[in-house]
Chain A
Amino acid sequence: MANVADVHLFAYLSCLLFVYNGFPAGDWGYSFAGTSLGAPFGADLQDCLGAASMADLLRQDADRFLELTAAGTGELSFLQGLNSCEERIAYLEAAAATLLSMPTGLVKIAIGREPTLRPALALRVSRKLIESPAVELLYEQFRSLTAVIGSGRDLLIPATVWLTYLNQEAPTPNG
């Protein structure tokens, strides 16, 4: 069960894992900004969610959780077979699988402390993610992570180690 904010959160975590694997963020296909509340937001992704709702592929239940309609399930199956989408699946699956080890709230706290998102919350301003000067700090964390767990590992390992590490970091003055 996920709401709209969860979709943005886990899509962003997937993009970060893509960057961890050495790919440029620009190749992910869509970009993200950090909101002043410290949450990631993809404008193109939001447009797609809106379009999917309009086309009755996706609906919100009474508790505002998103669910696929029967037509949406068929569309998902079609999209998963496209080369342009296929590459992202492993990253999306690894990001979602982190929920087997920690609740959504802790993933959200951890991502709020990611080096390029952290300033958005601290300064209460929206800013583009994985682009600011802080991106060097992100790369430094990823290099250290690879040094500890080795390269070419199942993505769930770096994802979970990294999120756990971020959860233990001191919060910013604003969280």
Chain B
Amino acid sequence: MVNSRQIEAFSEVALHLHLTVVTDAFGDSAIPMLKELLTYVGRLYHRLPEDVYRGQIVVVKSLDDSPVADGGLLYGSPDAVALPQSGRVMFQTFSNGAVRVWSSLDSIDLSKLAQSAIVYTFDQGKDTFFAGSRQATMLKLVAQAFSSNFGVPRFHSLKDALEDYRLRTARHTGCKILEKIWFDSNRIFFIPKPESLMRDSLVQFLNNVLGSEAQVRPEQNVNETEPVDIFIHWYMSQHLALIEVKWMGKSHNGVKITTEYGEARANHGAKQLADYLDENYRTAPLHAARAYLIVFDARRANTAADTRTISRPDGLKFENREITFQPAYHVDRLDFEVPLRFFCEPKCDA
């Protein structure tokens, strides 16, 4: 017996998948060519940070390995290619390792190229494949809105990763999970109890960037009362990170404002984390634990239950208003990182 719900879900995945686009057009025998293209894309993104690239990146793999267009500059090795900073650029990868690069694509028709080549584009955060008459934009697998699914996780430290998440994901709600934390489209109020979605978004992001070096798990018990929100254990080491997620601002259930949290909530989170650290030392004294407090900040000025739009001064009033921690565990203790406040920007009136 087969499960119709699963069939529907698998069909949806297959519809947007590069592998099915390519094999529908050219058969399974084209998979080695697709692998060559993907290998090149991975290598390219090691050198070219696609998430901040301004323009369109095109990579082509011809089925018969012949040049797909006139002109361009030929390089003997992928690492010898001079990479642009912006604009529309096309790379053709060859089986002998050579790469041809076109920086002017005005006369090149990608759908025409796709009749005898696999064509990949990355543009404004979207990975799209063209093959024969098939075309599909891939489902987003990674939490960062402007990253490619084939992008390279660039972090080796948790702090770098969290800083990046603050700037590029939390600030403008740059991930699908985080979109659900908002009650309204202008991002003035949170929904009631948004913590689990904030945590899930962070877990997905951290798994993506730290996945090969650490286990990232939500809600792990370190004492008998409350679990810590996120627990990270680096493989083959005694290093642990405990992350607590809190929020400030107001939540709304469609009828009224249900909760309002300010700096006291952040201080409560800091106390909780300090207690977790102490408890962890009692239960796992050989593990070197470090605490990270994350505070999603959606404080706005002059809002009431019926507020649906917000001016720039009111929306951004707390943008640079840091939290006063008393006691300041991050000053008093060596195992407590400086808390990170993730200011979540609203959509303000023009």
Could you tell me which A residues sit within 8 Å of B by CB distance?
Answer: 1-6, 37-39, 63-64, 97, 100-109, 140-141, 143-145, 147-149, 153-154, 156-157, 160-162, 164-165, 167-168, 171, 173-175
Are A3 and B219 closer than 8 Å at their CB atoms? Answer: no
The interface residues of chain A lying within 8 Å CB-to-CB of B208 are 103, 105-106
User: Distance (Å) between the CB of B26 and the closest chain A CB?
Assistant: 12
- Contact partner, B3, options A37, A144, A160, A173, Cβ 8 Å: A144
A164 to B9, CA, bound (A): 10
Closest chain A residue to B150, Cβ basis: A101
Are B200 and A3 closer than 8 Å at their CB atoms? Answer: no
- Contact partner, A105, options B18, B210, B236, Cβ 8 Å: B210
The interface residues of chain A lying within 8 Å CB-to-CB of B18 are 101
A167 to B140, CA, bound (A): 11
A97 to B3, CA, bound (A): 28
The interface residues of chain B lying within 8 Å CB-to-CB of A148 are 7, 10-11, 14
Given that A105-B210, A105-B212 are known contacts, is A174 also in contact with B219, CB under 8 Å in the complex? Answer: yes
- Contact partner, B10, options A3, A103, A109, A161, Cβ 8 Å: A161
In addition to A144-B10, A161-B10, A168-B13, 12 A-B residue pairs with Cβ atoms within 8 Å of each other are: A2-B212, A3-B213, A100-B39, A100-B42, A103-B142, A143-B2, A145-B6, A149-B14, A154-B28, A164-B139, A165-B9, A175-B219
Return the CB mask of B1-37 against A: 1 if under 8 Å, else 0: 1110011011101100111100100001001000100
Are A102 and B141 closer than 8 Å at their CB atoms? Answer: yes
A107 to B207, CA, bound (A): 10
B86: CB under 8 A from chain A?
no
B215: CB under 8 A from chain A?
yes
B192: CB under 8 A from chain A?
no
User: Distance (Å) between the CB of A175 and the closest chain B CB?
Assistant: 5
The interface residues of chain B lying within 8 Å CB-to-CB of A37 are 215, 217, 233
The interface residues of chain A lying within 8 Å CB-to-CB of B203 are 171, 175
The interface residues of chain A lying within 8 Å CB-to-CB of B216 are 105, 175
Given that A148-B14, A173-B219, A174-B218 are known contacts, is A109 also in contact with B207, CB under 8 Å in the complex? Answer: yes
11 contacts between A and B (CB under 8 A): A3-B235, A38-B217, A100-B35, A141-B3, A141-B6, A144-B3, A145-B6, A149-B10, A157-B23, A168-B9, A168-B13
A-B contact count (CB 8 A): 132
Given that A39-B215, A100-B38, A144-B10 are known contacts, is A105 also in contact with B20, CB under 8 Å in the complex? Answer: no
How many chain B residues touch A (Cβ–Cβ < 8 Å)?
47
- Contact partner, B31, options A6, A109, A154, Cβ 8 Å: A154
B67: CB under 8 A from chain A?
no
The interface residues of chain B lying within 8 Å CB-to-CB of A107 are 211
- Contact partner, B200, options A102, A105, A154, A171, Cβ 8 Å: A171
A153 to B6, CA, bound (A): 19
B153: CB under 8 A from chain A?
yes
B170: CB under 8 A from chain A?
no
User: Distance (Å) between the CB of A114 and the closest chain B CB?
Assistant: 14
A141 to B235, CA, bound (A): 30
B186: CB under 8 A from chain A?
no
A154 to B34, CA, bound (A): 12
